[in-house]
Amino acid sequence: MNVLMEEMNRRALALGIPLGAHLDVTYRCNERCVHCYLDHDDHGEMTTAEIMDVLDQLADAGTLFLTLSGGEVFMRMDFFKILEYARELSFCIKIKTNAFMIREKEADLIRDMDVNSVQVSIYSHRPEVHDAITLLPRSLERSIKGIRLMQQRGVKVIIANVLMRQNLADYEGVRQLARSLGVEATIDPTITPKMDGNREILGLGIGGKELRDVMHNADLVGNVDDFCATPPPVGDEDLDTVPCSASHTYCYISPYGDVFPCVQFPLPTGNVRKQRFLDIWRYSPQMNDVRSIRPRELPVCSTCSHIGTCTRCPGLAYMQGDMRGPSVQDCEKSYARTGIPSANMKLRFTATNGHPVAVAQPANLVQIQLAQAC
């Protein structure tokens, strides 16, 4: 992150401004990815006018960085109307899409509206693997075509590759594909529980040796010695810092108007169909509860040697039952990087005398229930 971007984040944090927002315009999708956490039925999406009103409110609140995602954004017939309005409000926009429905006309419009970047999900360079994950025939072929059309028009495209057991062998192939298309590529081994709390899809993710191999691949992480180094001694700064941007400078809004601290943090804080966005952002007890979290007060993580370098996600911890508890997936990542068990791993091992432990009950994820109530 460059100096000016850091300064902008610092200023937004000090002023309590939601500098970034993620707005899912729909949960409907033409793909049915095996690892997707969403319910793709429409439970009453916001209308075009409602979304425009939300965009007005976000602009007034100071939001600059806006991610428009789904579901598949192009399932909405009014998506370009929404996009055009968002650009009139001078947002810096990132679109997340599978690019299946992007043809010449769509690529032209994305270029003409000066979208900052478009992130496209690609799981493999092989159709038999990618299409088996999306469950949509010819999806890889169509997505690549969409990427090519955008790249040819100068649109910045980023391929996002979620790593699972099913496509673990193909990440190098995806990176080569990205290079051949002239676009960037990222990988992410994080699988998120379903919105209804169902954690079965977590079994699709990689762990253990597979995760360790990924974390020690210099092509992916750069300097392995640095990336996988033993964490330095924990200092006061590590314990008193803001753990992540959720609820501090960033928030998530669902297609039904529900506002959450983050796209990966399904704690309901309010609904823009009933309240003004800034009232939710500033005064929601849930938002302020998340805002109050500091590493020092976390009962387990504050004792962990990884606390200063861990990517602990409070949203994943929430989905495991306690937003102030450990995020098991991040414990696993820290362990895979360094070979040093987290405090939570040691505690669980000791508490069960070395036997496997039951996973904590998931939080009551009420995202859909709230939407139905609207």
Residues that bind other proteins (CB under 8 A): 2, 4-5, 7-8, 11-12, 14-15, 17, 19, 59, 62-65, 87, 90-93, 114, 116, 153-154, 156
Which is nearer to other proteins, 17 or 36 (by Cβ)? 17
Least distance between other proteins and beta carbon 157 (Å): 12
Measured between alpha carbons, how far is 16 from 248 in angstroms, rounded to an integer?
7
Of 3 and 77, nearer to other proteins (C-beta) is 3
Nearer to other proteins, 59 or 129 (CB): 59
Nearer to other proteins, 151 or 302 (CB): 151
CA distance 1 to 8: 11
Whichever of 4 and 49 has its CB closer to other proteins, that residue is: 4
End-to-end CA separation in angstroms for the chain: 39
User: 281 with 251: CB under 8 angstroms?
Assistant: yes
Residue 158 CB, nearest approach to other proteins (Å): 12
Residues in Cβ contact with 66 at an 8 Å cutoff, skipping those fewer than 6 apart = 20, 21, 22, 23, 55, 58, 86, 91, 92, 93, 94
User: Residue 151: which H helix or E strand, with range?
Assistant: helix 139-152
DSSP per residue, 340-352: ---HHHHHHHHHT
Q: Min. distance of Cβ 13 from other proteins in angstroms?
A: 11
Q: Minimal distance in Å, beta carbon 62 to other proteins?
A: 6
**SS3 label, residue 317:** helix
Structure-token pair, residue 365: 């994820």
Cβ at position 146, least distance to other proteins in Å:
17
